[in-house]
Amino acid sequence: MSKITGNAKRLRIYIGEEDRWDGETLYNAIVRKARDLDLAGASVFRGLMGYGAHSRIHTAKFLISEDMPILIEIVDSEEYINKILPYLDEMILEGLVIIDDIEIVKYGKRRNES
């Protein structure tokens, strides 16, 4: 089991589900770019409700709804977070990017994994 502790950066990217980049969904393109740049990992979360710069409320009243809020979260060292920022500048036409300082407490395999 590996354990990492210490300071890191958390990158949070807020975009729309229907946002696109180079023929694919923007969230998919960002996660693929993060993997290509060897960042530690990325998670994508679909929001239930939200609004952005245009003040249009998007809500999932039904199981299928269009253009829901998407959050992409990446945690890594400052060096690795900085690697993806120039690409985000090019890829994101409308959205919000937040970087904050965090402290990693634990990272590794689950107890039942060998």
pLDDT tens by residue, the chain, 114 residues? 456 678 999 999 999 999 999 999 999 999 999 999 999 999 999 977 666 666 766 666 655 566 789 999 999 999 999 999 999 999 999 999 999 999 988 756 655 655
pTM: 0.80
Tell me the longest C-alpha to C-alpha distance in the chain. Answer: 49
The residue segments making up the domain with residue 49 are 12-104
Q: What is the CATH number of the domain that holds 88?
A: 3.30.70.120
Provide the token pair at 48: 């239930």
Examine residue 110 and state whether it is found in any structural domain, yes or no.
no
Examine residue 72 and state whether it is found in any structural domain, yes or no.
yes
For residue 98, the one-letter residue type is I
Examine residue 91 and state whether it is found in any structural domain, yes or no.
yes
Which of 10, 48, 13, 9 has the alpha carbon at shortest distance from 28? 13
Examine residue 40 and state whether it is found in any structural domain, yes or no.
yes
Examine residue 16 and state whether it is found in any structural domain, yes or no.
yes
How many domains are contained in the chain? Answer: 1
DSSP codes joined into one string, 94-109? S-EEEEEEEEE---S-
